[in-house]
Amino acid sequence: MTDLEQQLRRTLATVVRDEPAPTFPSGPDYRAAARRRWPVVPVAAAAAVVLLVALGAVVLAGRGSSGVPPAAGGVAAWPARGSLAGDTALTGAAMRAWEAALLPPRELPHRDVRVLYAERTLAGDVVVLTGVDALGHRRVAELDTDPTSTTVFRHRLHLVADLLAPTDARAGLIAIDAPRHTLRKSHDDLLVVLAAPGTKRLQWQNLGRPWQTVPVVNGAGTAVHVDLGTTLVRAGHDGGGVETLGRFFPGGGPGDVAIAHDMDSGENDTPSTPVVETCDSNGCGVSVGGTVGVHVSPTWQNLLDSGTISTHEWWEFGPEVRLYTETFIPNDANTSGPTWSDVLSDGTGIFLEFYAPAHQATHLIGYVDRPEWAGGSVVDVIPQDGQSSALALLVPAPTGPTLDVVVADGLTPQWRSGAGPWQSMKVHDNVASTPVPSAVGIHWRVVDAHGAVVASGQPHRVAAKR
């Protein structure tokens, strides 16, 4: 073969490789239908924000299927990749966080869990895991940190997606694209793309815009980009294989984005019957005593009033609360919204949200977490008549149990151990906290300005997740 022939072959190969992708539907009407925004209420009608896409390759005209790398066994056989894949502290924390997530118990525990990818990005550290759930289905999970966090949870890995792994011909390319916080002043997404080892070319495209390269090392890479709607991803030895990846993301601030979770085969979203807890030696599910008045701005007289928050907002784990309600109290028509949040001086984070399934009693959801845990615990309360003046939590801490009481305006919490004297607690930003000698025999109550008891009981005992 002459030098001229070789040069001609290279030129033709370049033309074929760089042939532009066909134009996909676009325009204001298409984008308006594709993009969705999440209101605070209702939330259950909102679509899942993060999707795992692993479609069969769509080969452009004039290109052979050889341009798409083989699946090479799919995620079950792919090796760990990424510069942080050897960071056992990070990847071990990701595995513990996956087990501690608020997922259906029938899916837990996972077995044969291992790392697919771990990398540091503008959107924080990202870890992608794979494992088999208790029902025997292989799953792929992504967990990320939040580089914008200013709390003691700044290094906590958040579950972003927990999805069924693709199989057969669809297993050659995985892309997870999710809105994530960055230090940039823009609505950013983190795109994670995994293909078979040896893949040298990964590209992404906002619909209607030029293709851009995903930095790739051994078939895996990430890109932080501004969310502009539908995203496409393609992979191949020469860029010939194309995967389409539809993305319809909402805008909004912290807590507006849901965790993507695929239901296993045979699961459904049939609403469950609420269980009203009763008081026993371990705690109370419902506050007892008289009811309090209706909410009148600017006072906060009911913990279920939406929008009343502390001056120290803690919205980092709002998606976990949403995952809990969608998993354990599923309902097609509901309203919900955050009511209060804070990170206390001892590191305990508390996030309160009301959740009102259609034609069912309103729940007060309390998400409680500590930085040394692998994940948070939920206290699910159904207050009498939709009114709640206080929520008392008994939280295990390294130095011993702590009683944390969130109260409405104008109320003072008190506690005692056994038959001992009642002791008042100092309230700051609608919460009072005190160490207690034991997790057993603790009682609480709240009194108004006249000393009248408006609620009392035993605190909810929060389980630590390690």
CB atoms inside a 10 Å sphere around CB 449: 8
Report pLDDT digits (tens) over 179-199.
888 888 888 889 999 988 988
CB atoms inside a 10 Å sphere around CB 134: 14
For residue 169, name the pLDDT band (cuts at 50, 70, 90).
low
- pLDDT exceeds cutoff 90 at 398: yes
> What pLDDT shows up at residue 68?
53
- Find, among 449, 335, 465, 455, the residue nearest to 383 by Cα: 455
E-strand ranges in 316-430 read 334-343, 349-357, 363-369, 377-381, 390-395, 402-407, 412-417, 423-424
Distance of CA 312 to the CA centre of its chain: 21
Mean pLDDT taken over the chain: 76
Cα atoms found within 13 Å of the Cα of residue 351, Cβ hemisphere only? 23
210's CB contacts (< 8 A; 6+ apart) are none
pTM of the model: 0.77
> What pLDDT shows up at residue 178?
87
Structural domain boundaries of the chain? 34-261, 318-461
- pLDDT exceeds cutoff 90 at 223: yes
User: Is 379:391 a contact under the CB 8 Å cutoff?
Assistant: yes
322 residue type, one letter:
R
Mean pLDDT lowest for which of 70-84, 122-136, 407-421?
70-84
Longest dimension (CA), the chain: 101
Distance between CA atoms of 125 and 133, rounded to whole angstroms? 24
> What pLDDT shows up at residue 402?
96
Distance between CA atoms of 460 and 466, rounded to whole angstroms? 19
> What pLDDT shows up at residue 168?
67
User: Is 240:16 a contact under the CB 8 Å cutoff?
Assistant: yes
User: Is 223:215 a contact under the CB 8 Å cutoff?
Assistant: yes
* Percent of the chain residues topping a pLDDT of 70: 71
Which stretch of DSSP H or E encloses residue 98? helix 88-100
Mean pLDDT lowest for which of 28-42, 152-166, 230-244?
28-42
- Three-state SS for 458? coil
Cα atoms found within 13 Å of the Cα of residue 214, Cβ hemisphere only? 34
Helices (H), 268-349: 318-328
> What pLDDT shows up at residue 313?
73
